[in-house]
Amino acid sequence: MTVTELHSVRAGTPRRSAAAWLHQILSMPAGAILLVFLVVQLACIIAGLAFPDDFRYLSPQNMGILMRSVPVLGCLALGAGILMIAGEFDLSIGSVYTLTAVIMAMLVGNGIDAFIAAPIGLMVGAVIGLGNGFLTLRFNLPSFIVTLGGLLFWRGAVLLINGAVQVRFDPNPVFNAMFGGTVLGINAAFIWFILLCLAFWALLHRHKLGNHIFATGGNRAAATAIGVNTSRIKMIAFAIAGFMAAFAGILATTRVGSVQPGQGAGLELQAIAACVIGGLSLRGGRGSILGVFLGVMLIFTITDVLLLMRAPGFYLDMFIATLIVVASIFNHGLDRRGGAL
């Protein structure tokens, strides 16, 4: 190293490292949302420490709410996110979530063991996903339209098979502990969600199937020309979205102990919102599991803060709406980023 080089390195170090650090974070696939998330968390924690009586962000009760509320939206968003990266949508996941939960609860109510009823619910979810995929691909339709049909159809089906009454869900104690209990103070549902995040991360970012999912959503014609069976990949992604909707149904139902026929309405939009906030492209081919996770956490945090401040519910919708649009503008500007390195 020459003298001038040494000089410039030494002179540039302190300032540049902060700027370089910021630049490095921002150029990560989910960097911007990570930064926003950290800032929001920091602000909430400081506020919670400063006003422990008025703003109970750090109270054990609030932590408990976090661990119980996040997994349901989180599981829906993981499935919706994989499908979005593959270049398709599923608007029916909210209805499928309710339908599979109702089916599972009715089976258990008729004396079938929960460990048999739950897999049946998951299978129904996956099969409905495959059905969405089949209609979309076979007739070359936008999945938006097909699954909009699914949203209404399955919502109606719930009322058809069950009526507008709530269904009690009373599984055996082992099942209850596995999906509704706590381990070392941590909610079982939350542990499931974290494990699923890790599994989805490995699948999407480290497994060849994930590579094919990115390629299918990023440029379907090219992926086909190179030898990826893009129809198969899309079918798999649709099945995963349906499966995860059913899994979210299991977590929610076990927690509450019953199913309300109307409980899934709007959840599909929140899941897609979480994905968009997390940096997934609406055109497919871009995004990350970390982004989905942070998108879900951010939506929860905003909900939580508004509740803690006793703000009226409509603020929540307005806040999330703003966040979606801002995130889209930001992602659009950075459309080059967020691919798979």
Partner 1 sequence: MSLLALHNVNKHFGPLKALSDLSFEINENEVVGLLGDNGAGKSTTVNMISGIHQPTSGHISVDGKKQVFTCRRDSAEAGVETIYQNTALVDSLSISRNIFLGRELTNRFGFMDLKRMREISMQVLESAVHISGIDSPDKLVGDLSGGQKQAVAIARAVFFKRRVLLLDEPTSALSVRETEALLNQVLKLKAEGVSSVLVTHNLYHAYQVCDRFVIMSHGTKVLDVDKANTTIEELTQHVVLT
Residues within the interface to partner 1 (CB under 8 A): 202, 206-209, 211-212, 214-215, 217-219, 221-229, 281, 285-286, 336-341
Residue 304, judged by CB atoms within 10 A of its CB (0-12, 13-18, 19+), counts as middle
Least CB distance to partner 1 at residue 212 (A): 7
Report residue 237 as tokens: 């992604």
Q: In this complex, which beta carbon is closest to partner 1, that of residue 155 or of residue 212?
A: 212
What is the rounded CA–CA span in Å between residue 126 and residue 43?
Answer: 40
Residue 59, judged by CB atoms within 10 A of its CB (0-12, 13-18, 19+), counts as middle
Least CB distance to partner 1 at residue 341 (A): 5
Q: In this complex, which beta carbon is closest to partner 1, that of residue 3 or of residue 341?
A: 341
Q: What is the DSSP letter of 21?
A: H
Local structure of 303: helix, strand or coil: helix
CA dihedral 305, 278, 187, 237 (to 10 degrees): 150
Nearest to 251 by CA among 63, 73, 66: 73
What is the rounded CA–CA span in Å between residue 267 and residue 145?
Answer: 18
Least CB distance to partner 1 at residue 209 (A): 7
What is the rounded CA–CA span in Å between residue 230 and residue 136?
Answer: 13
Least CB distance to partner 1 at residue 280 (A): 11
What is the rounded CA–CA span in Å between residue 302 and residue 276?
Answer: 16
Report residue 205 as tokens: 């970012």
Q: Are 278 and 295 in contact (CB under 8 A)?
A: yes
Least CB distance to partner 1 at residue 221 (A): 7
Least CB distance to partner 1 at residue 335 (A): 8
Least CB distance to partner 1 at residue 138 (A): 17
Q: In this complex, which beta carbon is closest to partner 1, that of residue 66 or of residue 340?
A: 340
